[in-house]
A and B are shown apart, each in its own frame.
Chain A
Amino acid sequence: MENNKRVLVIDDEAHIRRVIELKFKNQGYQVITASNGEEGLDLIKNQQPDVVITDIMMPKLDGRALCERANELKKKRPFLTIVMTCRISPTEQDWISKLQDTVFVEKPFSLQTILKCVDQYFGNEE
């Protein structure tokens, strides 16, 4: 079950960080966490995660700004971003379409859904 893929979970909600961390660790992923966008961006730059799972509404640097910064970084090194959002408004659709390798999952989500997205990205879906 061990794999060398690194997953970064960014959320100010400790319970959600914890449960996603557990889920992915159980699947053999290496998991690192951050409680705000700024901390998360540092980890993206320094730890080079393969998957970033982030909330939208966060202190310091929110999910939108984080996604845009991540999109810049993806030009050098692609990675998957999964954004946990409450709802996707029509105006957000335009913004989303400009982002590379980014998937949106609406809350409340199933952990299986997130896992499936990651598996699809790495092409190891059964």
Chain B
Amino acid sequence: MKVQRITIATFVIFVIGIGIFAQALYQQEQRSRTQDLQHKGNYLVSLVALHPMKNFLGIKRDYIVKTLAEYVTSDGLIYAIVQDQNGSPLLSLAHRDVVAKIPTDVEQRSLYVNGLIQQTYKMVGTDHTINEFAKPIFEGGQRSGTVRMGFDLPPISVFSLQRIKLMAIMAFFAFSMAVLVYYGVTLALRPLHEVNQNFRNICIDSVPVSPGSFKNGGVGEIIKGLEQSVFQLKDRYEKIQAENIDLTTKYGVISFEKHNVFNLLDSINHGIIVTDIQDNITHINSYMLNLLDKKRDEVIDHPLGDILVHDQITAFLLQQGAMKQSSGASYIETTFPELASGESFLVSLSYLSGRKEDVIGKAISFKNITSEKSAENAKHEFITRITHELLTPLTTINSYNEMLMDDEIDNVEMQKEFYNTINEETSRLTSLVKTLLNISKIEMGSLTLNKGLVKSDWLFDDCLTTVEGAAQKKNITIERNLPDSFPSLFGDKELLKVAIINILGNAVKYTPEDGHIQFMLTEQDDFVIFEVTDDGYGISKEDLPHVFDKFYRSTDPHVTEQTGSGLGLALTSEIVRLHGGEIEVNSKPDEGSHFKIRLPKEEYYLGKQ
């Protein structure tokens, strides 16, 4: 609509302009022609008036007529009349009907005015305007006649060939100027347009102004477009700002969670290395850094192969990579002799998946399984030892029995000895099974203490009675040392007996013949103390810390020549511990050993269990 109005307005202005221009041209032309006519009329009348009257009658009459006739054809001369002083025409160059149409007053004024006169009149009966120029002819200071000439103002031709040429040249220059101005303005506005276009590109939302309007090139349109763009940009900016706040919040949450995850990874007792798909390390936890003895900066963004130089692990990762496992985990057991001597690690690989279930990296974990391996080895060792300890007396019993049954022992004394050995080994087996059962129960936490009042003197005597036979065989003296009053204990009498007999039995076992053992019962504060001191072989410094370990047996020949499972002192220690007591040992090789068992007293036992 706007375009149409502008077009119409432009057209109207153009037409008015043309009209005004044509009018101006017309007026200019008219003035020019009128002046020209005046000059011509004045000149011609004055020229003819110079002739004496006789010339209009004589020889020169033809010459004058011929000359004037030229003006008639080319310059609009309608009539030329020379009249004498009486008003009678001497020469008349005109149509008869023209002369008749000249108003009389015009003729009269021309005939009587002394001087050049110009009169404009309309011919009688027509609208034809005539300019009459008249001048008197003077001869000898007297007026002898009058020259009258009527000129017709020729029609004005605005669009003459010459003028059209001029207008064409002007139009050409005007058009050229317009083109140049348009081009210049367009060129000048181009940056603005480009800015606007850029704004439009920035503003993703649809712009209501059609692109065509910009081609039409209005600066206002461009500014309007810019304004719209700026508003949209502002909206967009506000949206982006809101999104930015949202993203900042989310980033904060993610950073916090990431920080927590990294803290968690750093706190766990496993090594963790995370790599991207190109096997560059993207994260490593503190445990792993300690293991590799490296700083985080030395590791992050470095290829895994450069940091972890380990043939077995490299081969494992290659093998896993070849299997293209994207889920689940596989593992190998390995060691790092140079970094962590004597420690075993379980290395496992997991593939990290992205949102589209595509593999985006690897997580390699290193679990220190030294203690597990140690426990596994200990368990294996334990079973092997138990089997050995059980099968050894069984083998003895079996083979001794076989010899007796095959009558390979003729000697009666030797037969007796064989029967005794079978008996001893059976007892050993029974004792061993009981000990194993007790240890097993203690370890499983299923050992129930059959607690009751235990009088320390009874316990003392029972233990002593058990080992006295063996001591007598070796002629070992057991010195009893008892307090005046006997404190009571609250515990499992049978288990306490086992614990003390193990100590006393060992004293007899590892004390040479004719040796001495002191068995002492004392009371100190809230404890009942059993002490066994011998002057036997003693325990070496190396063996001393291990005497309460399960299955530990010294390599000392005095020990190895005796039968033993290495479980007795371990069981004693556990029984004392279960009763809330303590056990300690002091010993020197060839000087003897001193065992001290401290058990809590139960002074106010009221029959509870």
Contacts and interface: CB of A to CB of B under 8 A. Distances in A.
A116 interface: no
B392 A107 contact: yes
* Interface residue range, chain B: 20 to 34
A54 to B, nearest CB: 14
A110 B402 contact: yes
A23 B395 contact: no
A102 to B, nearest CB: 19
Interface in A94-111: 107-111
B448 interface: no
A107 B408 contact: no
Contacts of A56: 388
Given A22-B403, A26-B408, A107 B425 contact: no
Nearest to B414: A22
B408 A16 contact: no
Interface string A3-45: 0000000001111100110110010000000011000000000
B421 A111 contact: no
Given A15-B425, A35-B561, A109-B395, A86 B555 contact: no
Interface string B576-602: 000000000000000000000000000
B219 to A, nearest CB: 95
Contacts of B557: 35
Nearest to B400: A19
A124 interface: no
B485 interface: no
A13 B399 contact: no
Nearest to A27: B408
A107 B394 contact: yes
Contacts of A20: 399
Interface string B555-570: 1010011010000000
- For the residues of B in contact with A, the DSSP-based class is helix
B435 to A, nearest CB: 18
B269 interface: no
A16 B396 contact: yes
Contacts of B13: none
A110 B403 CA distance: 10
A5 B560 CA distance: 29
A57 interface: yes
Given A16-B395, A19-B396, A59-B555, A112 B402 contact: yes
A107 B560 contact: no
Nearest to A57: B388
A60 interface: yes
B398 A13 contact: no
B384 A86 contact: yes
B253 interface: no
Interface string A82-126: 001011000000000000000000011111100000000000000
B47 interface: no
B387 interface: yes
Interface string B376-403: 0000000011011001101111111011
Contacts of B560: 12, 35-36, 59
B396 A13 contact: yes
Nearest to A19: B399
A107 B563 contact: no
Contacts of A109: 395, 398-399
A26 B414 CA distance: 14
A89 to B, nearest CB: 9
Contacts of B391: 86, 107-108
Contacts of B385: 57
A47 B305 CA distance: 57
Contact of B408 (A22, A86, A110): A22
Residue from the set B384, B394, B395 with the largest chain A CB neighbour count within 10 Å: B395
A14 B561 CA distance: 7
A60 B387 CA distance: 20
Contacts of A26: 408
B396 A15 contact: yes
A19 B555 CA distance: 23
Nearest to A36: B560
A14 to B, nearest CB: 7
A108 B384 contact: no
A86 B425 CA distance: 17
A23 B403 contact: yes
A84 B392 CA distance: 10
Nearest to B399: A19
A108 B403 contact: no
Nearest to B402: A111
B392 to A, nearest CB: 5
B563 to A, nearest CB: 7
Contacts of A108: 391, 394-395, 397-399
A35 B555 CA distance: 11
Nearest to A56: B388
B402 A87 contact: no
Contacts of A15: 396, 400, 421, 425
A47 B318 CA distance: 55
A107 B391 CA distance: 6
B395 A107 contact: yes
Interface of B: 384-385, 387-388, 391-392, 394-400, 402-403, 408-409, 421, 425, 553, 555, 557, 560-561, 563
26 contacts: A12-B560, A13-B392, A13-B396, A13-B563, A15-B396, A16-B396, A16-B399, A19-B396, A19-B399, A19-B403, A22-B408, A22-B409, A23-B399, A23-B403, A26-B408, A35-B560, A35-B561, A36-B560, A57-B388, A59-B560, A86-B388, A107-B394, A108-B391, A109-B395, A109-B398, A111-B402
Given A13-B395, A35-B561, 6 more contacts: A13-B563, A15-B400, A19-B400, A22-B408, A23-B399, A35-B557
Interface of A: 12-16, 19-20, 22-23, 26, 35-36, 56-57, 59-60, 84, 86-87, 107-112
Closest 3 CB pairs of A and B: A107-B391, A108-B395, A108-B398
